[in-house]
Structure 1
Amino acid sequence: MNKFTVGLIGAGSIGGLKLDHLDSPNTEFPLTHAHAVYSDPNFELTWVRDVDEVKAERAADKWNCKIALGFHETIADVIVIASPTSTHLAMIEEISRQHAGPNTLPKVIILEKPAGQNIYEATRIDWLCRESNIQVIVNYGRRFSQYIRYAIEHIQKENDIQSIVFYYTRGFVRDASHAIDILNWVAGTFIEGEIVDTKPILDYNSSDPTYAVRLKYSKCDNIFIVPVDGRKFDCFEMHLLTGKRRWIFDNHFLNISTTLCKKEETYGDYYSLPSIQERVSSCFFETDLKFSLRNLYQHVYKVLMKEEYSSICNMSNALRVHNVIDKLLIDKDRKEKL
């Protein structure tokens, strides 16, 4: 069976170089793109490219592929862009310029999130790929978890969200973009929001502070994204209340618990939410988030084989995230100048 070829731009932590005890050909969970490709029988990693030649050599040696020294050597069915966000647009411009022939363009580009540095870059990326007939799959990883999708489908069917609270660390654009993508998924259409006038946390870098945010969506008026100092500990979780139950997605969404409200037996004639330890009313399960990259490449294979014609997460999803982020940041800057 012929395998689809894959090229990797960016040999860093998500691309191909985590510590060996965390991610290597011998570990169970694919935590890098290189490992996910290496362990999938439908794909072959043929080259890696990085501006850091030492990283490129280490990744090529670790995953048994060659180093692409220039764009003339970067032909593949699938190209993964796992380089810093600031390089995404330039990489795609170079791909579309260098690979002018229909047989040299990739069929699919897998793009790490966020798609660009702002809505203008993301829109340009979308246009270039449409013009070149390249499908783009954006790696908002939680969308590729079957368990998380099942839970969100359940919440959508109940259609009675009362409030949502996210806790996150390490940069509004870098990590809260995940929260906004999930809100776009579960809470409908963005209506309004603001970055709350509190002191931001500088736990990632000064150009991307960790802000507190209040939001309103078509399916929920009460949404809060709460910053946590990532220098203390890492955190990404969502607490969601519907009219009937509590949902907690914790430990970066590796775990989900849900608790059904019940008639209060002690204090009065009303309903309350019992502790998640009360197993009669609660359900707890581990998700398959550790395998989200494996699931991503299974999805890519189905797209290439035309078994699935639309991506689970594409540039439309990425543009919706950028629309919210850019509006919040622009409004914040405008208020500060008044």
Structure 2
Amino acid sequence: MSTIYNILNVLIVGCGNIAGRFDMSRPSTDWPLTHAGAYHRDHRFQVIACVDPHEEVRSQFMKFWSIPVGFQAIDEISHKNHQFDVISICSPTHCHAHDLEIAISLSPQLIFCEKPTTASGIETEKLVRQCKKSDIHLAVNYTRRWDQDIRKLQTNIQNNQWGNLRAVVGYYNKGLLNNGSHLIDLLNFLLGKINIIKVGKPIYDFFDYDPTVPMWLETEDGCPIHLVAGHAQDYALFEIQFIFAKGVLVMEDGGIFWRSRQVIESEIFKGYRILTDSIKNTGHYPHAMLQAIDNIYRAITQNEYLYSTGDTALMTQFFCERIIQESISIV
């Protein structure tokens, strides 16, 4: 017996990498990493239109993803002639505020926006309020909130499965807002409120407006957190190490892999406890985009709780902006 479900119509604004191009050069059997790829795989959605100012880019995107209608600008779209259940904002960050304004006027049920939501926390706050006033769900793509490994870790921390958390060390590059904000948002999700203890000098390794900043943070109960700044010209870097009383857990390559080490009695030094060699496991991060789309569908049709919202993204953005301001003031 076939399952009957409502099909939701989608508009994608921006036809770049995260919109769908990352998946255009990958096997169709791989887990989708993009908005278009995830919508295409989940048959409860259909992408019926897209927007991009570059005609060749837009045409290629439409052809690959079988999208029937394309626009040069979101301003061309009229609510009277086009109705969308979901609008994905995948345009460059400096376009987000304008695109979100128009998207809200089109009255979708949900807007799924890339991060940072806008280029300014004040601007984001205004648009979050507008979405609430218009009764529009706002999801922001801090993808790891949909990663089942992260949600399981949150439960394990709450249940004290690994014992007390002693320290956290994270590593990132390519800008605090662009990349490091994922770490900040992840820490907020897993550990609750985070306090700033000290920030280091800014490192301009990719964007001239978004430095990578080393920092020392602390949880409300005093657990130390050190976020180490790398350099984007060397290689991509996004890892985090959790040091627990009962062992060490490390997220590698953004969540593609995880390593764990358990505590055992030393066979060499009597009375000492040591860590075992690390065990490497493949993570579920590649599944996260499909999990996000599933959460979005259920939020619309069943009023399910969204794992990443305008409010949680706003908290992360204000936190990152404060760190950047403190860092810049050092120079």
TM-score relative to the length of structure 1: 0.88
Q: Which residue of the partner structure matches residue 204 of structure 1?
A: 206
Distance 1:271 1:118, change over 3 A: farther
Residue pair 1:129, 1:135 contacting (<8 A) in 2 also: yes
1:193 matched to 2:197 = yes
1:280 is aligned to none
The one-character-per-residue Cα deviations of 1:309-338 (angstroms, maximum 9, x if unpaired) are x211111210120121122122234444xx
What is the alpha-carbon distance in structure 2 between the residues aligned to residue 77 and residue 218 of structure 1?
39
Quickly say closer, same or farther: Cα 1:217–1:118, change in 2 above 3 A. farther
**1:268 positional shift:** 4.3
User: 76, 82, 91: which is aligned to 1:83?
Assistant: 91
- Aligned partner letter, 1:331: E
Counterpart in the other structure of 2:265? 263
Distance 1:219 1:179 in 2: 19
Gaps in structure 2 of 5+ consecutive residues: none
Summarize deviations over 1:63-103 as a string: whole Å, max 9, x none: 11120341226531000001112221111112334x3xxxx
2:11 maps to what in 1?
A: 7
Contact 2:167 2:224 in 1 (8 A): yes
Q: CA deviation at 1:214?
A: 1.3
Partners of 2:110 and 2:9 in 1: CA distance: 11
AA in 2 matched with 1:115: T
Counterpart of 1:303 in structure 2 is: 299
1:42 aligns with 2:44: yes
CA distance in 2, matches of 1:318, 1:296: 15
- In structure 2, relative to structure 1, the CA distance for the partners of 1:223 and 1:43 (3 Å cut) is same
Is residue 148–residue 287 contact of structure 1 (8 Å, CA) maintained in 2? no
Conserved 8 A contact 1:5-1:46 = yes
Q: Distance in 1 between matches of 2:327 and 2:164?
A: 30
Q: Larger deviation: 315-324 or 326-335? A: 326-335
What is the correspondence of 1:164-203 to structure 2 with a 5 Å cutoff? 164-197=168-201, 200=203, 202-203=204-205
Q: In structure 2, how many angstroms separate the alpha carbons of the residues matched to 1:192 and 1:235?
A: 22
Matched, 1:232 2:213: no
The answer on whether the counterparts of 2:15 and 2:57 sit within 8 Å (CA) in structure 1 is yes
Confirm whether residue 246 of structure 1 aligns to residue 269 of structure 2: no
Kindly provide the amino acid, as one letter, of the partner of residue 59 in structure 1.
Answer: F
Q: What SS is found at the alignment partner of 2:159?
A: helix
Aligned to 1:102: none
Moved over 3 A (4+): 333-336
Contact 1:257–1:285 (Cα < 8 Å) also in 2 = yes
Cα distance in structure 2, aligned partners of 1:155 and 1:96: 38
* Greater mean deviation of Cα atoms: 66-75 or 51-60: 66-75
**Secondary structure in structure 1 of the residue aligned to 2:278:** coil
Distance 1:322 1:28 in 2: 32
> For each residue in 1:242-269, what CA deviation from the matched residue of structure 2 results, as whole angstroms up to 9, or x when unmatched?
1111011101111122222122332242
Partner Cα separation in structure 1 for residue 108 and residue 283 of structure 2: 32
Q: Does 1:68 align with 2:71?
A: yes
How far apart are residue 147 of structure 1 and its match? 2.3
> What letter matches 1:160 in structure 2?
N
Aligned residues: 319
Contact kept? 1:107, 1:304, Cα under 8 Å: yes
Aligned with 1:61: secondary structure?
A: helix
1:329 paired residue number: 324
Alignment pair present for 1:313 and 2:308: yes
Structure 2 vs 1, CA of residues 19 and 96 (structure 1 numbering), >3 Å: closer, same or farther? closer
1:94 paired to 2:102: yes
Letter in 1 for 2:177: V
Q: Which amino acid aligns with 2:289?
A: L
- Does the 8 Å CA contact 1:7/1:74 hold for their aligned counterparts? no
Match of 1:291 in 2: 287
Secondary structure at the residue paired with 2:187? Answer: helix
Question: Which residues in structure 2 correspond to 1:14-25 (within 5 Å)?
Answer: 14-18=18-22, 20-22=24-26
Offset, 1:220:
4.5
Per the alignment, in what secondary structure is the counterpart of residue 290 of structure 2? helix
What's the counterpart of residue 119 of structure 1?
A: 121
Counterpart of 2:317 in structure 1: which amino acid? H
RMSD over aligned Cα, in angstroms?
1.9
Is residue 21–residue 27 contact of structure 1 (8 Å, CA) maintained in 2?
A: no
Q: Tell me, in whole angstroms, the C-alpha distance in 1 between the residues paired with 2:104 and 2:39.
A: 23
Offset at residue 160 of structure 1 (A): 1.7
Q: Corresponding residue for 1:56?
A: 58
Unaligned runs of 5+ in 1: 100-104, 278-283
Letter in 2 for 1:71: I
Q: TM-score, normalised by structure 2?
A: 0.90
